[in-house]
Structure 1
Amino acid sequence: MELSSQDQLRLNVLLANPIDAVRIDENKMVLYAMSGNEEARVQLNPNCKAERYLRIVRELLSGRALGSPGGYPVYLKRWTRMGQKSDDNLGQLLKLGEPEAILAVAGAPGLTNELARLAWWASPTSEMARSMLKRDVIADSKMGKVLAEHLYEHLAFETEPLIVIESVQLILTPGLLDDDKHKALWSKGKKKRAYLVGFLLATPDALPDQQQARHDYAQIGETLKPLVTDNPYAALLDKILHARGQTFLQVAGDVLNKPYNPDDVIALLNAVRDYLYSGYDDQSEQDIQTILAECQNLCEAGNDSNIVRLLNEVPQLKKELAAILTLGRCGDAVVTPVFARSDAVGTVMRKKLEPVTTHIFEQLAILQGKT
């Protein structure tokens, strides 16, 4: 099977000239090509089923762009979208009219601002925007604001919590949103907790509506000050007692108080764990009682010189240190047993999580000076 005669002629003429990218509207059977800032359009006239005809068109494009004698390369179907694609011939991949190829370009480490512009023209989707905004070089470029604006405008239509969280986290990259949109996102978090989790991940030390430092921070902070540069536990305590840390705890507690689904819970616990990470690499323990006991023992055993030194200076903060160590190990593993047995959401989910969340709330309260 070959292309219809008129399409064969038009596409050969098109491909005889330099082009930068191709996209295909499969519903309208229209092929678009970008050359510089000029856009060309070819109405396709299939002589067989649309799916088969589009495959023939893409074989022609692939043969011209990549020199693949068999047309469309089979390995394209196995791209992962995770950035493993090499940087060789990234520009050529945009000429295939193949969505998977465009996504591979978006996730490639060698993505440039110009390639991002062309990829966005070829496939202006939220998935593309998220993939490209993960690259600092794109987030810091003119394209960054374009992509962030798209994600902001489409957030209301997203239904998957993890997608909402990731989108919010990405568009909160400094310089992408103006103050009004930043405030609007924060306000929406009052009803949709996933927005707040995005804030916790993106700007944990610069959240809106800053709380006061803990009531005893002025005095304790002076004692901690000489230790923070070379004692990781002192640095964590100083951070969490400071206004920025108290704000983080307040927001985390608000989210944990009324999450709607497992994704909210898992993302939140991982955000808290990462914020309070103290260097303990084994995050596999699922029993929170075991974690509590081990962290308490770590504070009392005298085996860690940094802990000993810290508690010699501020022995009254032993509970706070144990709470930090505990929360720094309470990632998704502690709720895995619950979610493995139940797919409940809302009130029922929160009830099933109480054996875990009760202890987490206790640790948050200790750090906030409420107990």
Structure 2
Amino acid sequence: MSKNILEFCLSPDLGGLELCAIEYFKYFKTQTYSYLCVAPNKKLDIYLEDENKFTLKRNKLFPILPAFKLAKFIDKNDIDVVHFHWTKDIATVVLGKVLSKRKPKIIQTRHMTMTRFKNDFYHKWLYKNIDTIHAVTYQVKGQLEQFIPSEIRPKLEMVYLGVNEILVNDEKIINLKEQYNIKDEFIVGIVGRIEESKGQYLVIEAIAKLKKLNIKALIVGHAMDESYMAELKLKIKELEIEDKIIFTGFTKDVNEHIKLCDVTVLATPKETFGLVVIESMINKVPVIATANGGPLEIIDNEEDGLLFDRTTENLVEKIELLFINTELKNKLALNGYKKVKEVFDKNTQMQKMYEVIDES
């Protein structure tokens, strides 16, 4: 295949969805001609410097304006496929296709759940102009089949996300332990943007109930909501566990931070996939994840991870179980590592996605 692929993501954030767009761009660049379009001066733009990157300012009210610029880029660079990730980009991408002379194929990676019918005139027009939707789990694929009418439904494909095993910097881990004053404590990590939906408060409440044990929490990520961050710090003070909670802020060294942990927690109520789950597993760190959404397709409970019902009480039980039972902790870590190697290998999943684009 020699197709020109444009990865498109104007999201202002830098989470799993946005990093996924970068990873596809990098991989496709090794296979064919690949370009990346991001919003100017936003986190993705700052995160990556690349000669094949260009910027486009999003216009929420008048998407036709950036769509004209997108159409020009499509025609100038002979783009065959536009692959977008952020749902809010759908109008800009479709209009860009319609306005272009080249009329590239459009592929959407659906990272989020779908919960309502898309049978109005506007959505019918949009989906008629999308060729393929890539679902990141079978659950998401089922929702697409349920809520998009068959007569306008694009071709559906399911390809899991994946991770590679990365050789971590041992010296950096030693320095991080010194920086965070970690000695022999049992570390419970939660990785992701600091916002209420990510459930950092559940970990804090659990640590408070386990305060008599030698356990600390490592909260990794940047604050999306300063008021929520202030609430967390007030809660920590009221619970008198300031010495038990470590905030790291944003870091690019995610794997090294995961390696600091004895267990990580995914506490989102409905995580579509849960990239941090497989990131922990590939680092041989066991995971406690919400029994909903993506984790149900990743984790076999008590075999390669633990599922919990998203209550503080249940989370306390799971953390204490791993704190006491080292044999179980080691078993989950080893089985989780093997699971990722067999099912969620990044290069394998990237190649599957490349084949989806090829078939388009």
Q: TM-score normalised by the shorter chain: which range applies? A: under 0.3
**Higher helix fraction: Structure 1 or Structure 2?**
1
**Higher strand fraction: Structure 1 or Structure 2?**
2
> Which fold has the larger relative contact order, with Cα–Cα distance below 8 Å and residues 6 or more apart in sequence?
2
Normalization by structure 1: what TM-score?
A: 0.26
Which protein has the larger Cα radius of gyration, Structure 1 or Structure 2? 1
Normalization by structure 2: what TM-score?
A: 0.27
